[in-house]
């Protein structure tokens, strides 16, 4: 959902999107047509292949909402407050994350950390430090398995559910959002998230800081066309290194935070931006400083 309120969804029964429902209905229809007119099989096969190609395309598009609910941008109320969200994936990292926290504190900014369950279990004190500093920890899977979409509904429930229990036990707060590994998913993810009370969250712009060792290029990608309501993606885990060996996020973040403050944009957590009480009252968050 682009600009929806996000957060934990209600306990209404899960319903597929029209795209998923149509795809599901297509399969028995094609089977009936094949039984009725078997010589139509080349055309029916082509339709089936086209349907699966469309599903695959949507699975590879992180911002797609055809497979289910997807927070691809902050709610309109948050954008009206000149808020943006900095999201940081793949941690916690014992070397990088403390330095990221120090930079965020120095600039008075809040961020959302999408943590991997196994890494969180290895560094629980670091996770608690993230929360104690006023940031949010959200769910990025238990093992960060890129093959999770191949495991069906049970695989998603295991990968996401294990992380949900791990992160909740460590921080004392159940995550509200899930980010798919590399943005990859399939139609089975939405019912799994619904059962766990989670909302999928993607991003509006990313720096590709796990691939690019050039901080200038990473920063340019994040700032190009930046506006209120954007969700930015960076990484403290799996971070690329500059020629001098510095994690790229540490070279980019001070300049990014300075640019946001200069533009009057306030970095807040996803939970804060999507809080329905704030969105109704129009309460202002703490403003970052240069």
Tell me the pLDDT tens digit for each residue of 241-278.
999 999 999 999 999 999 999 999 999 999 999 998 87
Q: Are 125 and 100 in contact (CB under 8 A)?
A: no
Active-site residue (options: 123, 144, 194, 235): 235
C-alpha torsion angle, residues 39, 41, 47, 50 (rounded to 10): -150
> How far is it, in rounded angstroms, from Cα 239 to Cα 249?
7
Give yes or no: 89 in active site: yes
Pairing mode, if any, of strands 266-267 and 177-178? unpaired
- Rounded to an integer, what is the distance from CA 283 to the centroid of its chain? 25
Q: What percent of the chain has pLDDT over 90?
A: 86
Distances (CA, A) of 138 to 111, 144, 248, 254: 11, 13, 22, 23
Annotation marks residue 235 as catalytic: yes
Residue 151 DSSP one-character state: G
CA 263 to chain CA centroid, nearest Å: 24
d(CA 86, CA 103): 13
Q: pLDDT of 66-87, one tens digit each?
A: 999 999 999 999 999 999 999 9
Per DSSP, the residues of 72-103 read -S--HHHHHTTEEEEEEEEE--TTHHHHHHHH
Catalytic one of 89, 190, 230, 236? 89
Cα angle 145-17-151, degrees, rounded to a multiple of 5: 25
- pTM for the complete prediction? 0.90
| pLDDT tens readout for residues 34-71 | 999 999 999 999 999 999 999 999 999 999 999 999 99
With pLDDT > 70 as the criterion, what percentage of the chain qualifies? 92
């Amino acid at each position: 959902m682009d600009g929806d309120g996000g957060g934990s969804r209600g306990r209404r029964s899960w319903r597929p999107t029209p795209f998923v429902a149509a795809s599901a209905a297509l399969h028995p229809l094609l089977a009936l047509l094949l039984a009725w007119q078997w010589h139509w099989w080349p055309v029916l096969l082509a339709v089936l292949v086209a349907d699966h190609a469309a599903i695959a395309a949507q699975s590879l598009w992180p911002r797609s909402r055809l497979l289910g609910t997807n927070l691809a941008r902050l709610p309109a109320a948050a954008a009206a407050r000149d808020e943006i969200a900095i999201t940081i994936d793949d941690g916690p990292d014992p070397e990088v994350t403390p330095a990221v926290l120090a930079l965020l504190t120095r600039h008075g900014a809040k961020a959302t950390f999408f943590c991997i369950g196994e890494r969180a279990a290895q560094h629980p004190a670091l996770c608690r430090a993230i929360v104690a500093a006023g940031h949010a920890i959200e769910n990025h899977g238990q093992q960060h398995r890129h093959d999770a979409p191949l495991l069906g509904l049970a695989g998603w429930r295991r990968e996401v559910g294990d992380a949900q229990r791990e992160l909740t036990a460590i921080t004392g707060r159940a995550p509200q959002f899930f980010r798919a590994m590399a943005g990859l998913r399939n139609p089975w993810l939405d019912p799994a998230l619904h059962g766990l009370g989670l909302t999928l969250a993607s991003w509006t712009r990313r720096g590709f800081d796990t691939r690019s060792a050039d901080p200038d290029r990473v920063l340019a990608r994040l700032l190009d066309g930046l506006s209120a309501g954007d969700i930015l993606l960076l990484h403290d885990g799996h971070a690329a290194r500059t020629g001098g060996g510095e994690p790229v996020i540490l070279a980019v973040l001070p300049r990014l935070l300075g640019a946001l403050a200069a533009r009057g944009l306030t970095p807040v957590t996803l939970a804060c931006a999507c809080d329905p009480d704030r969105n109704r009252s129009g309460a202002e968050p703490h403003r970052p400083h240069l």
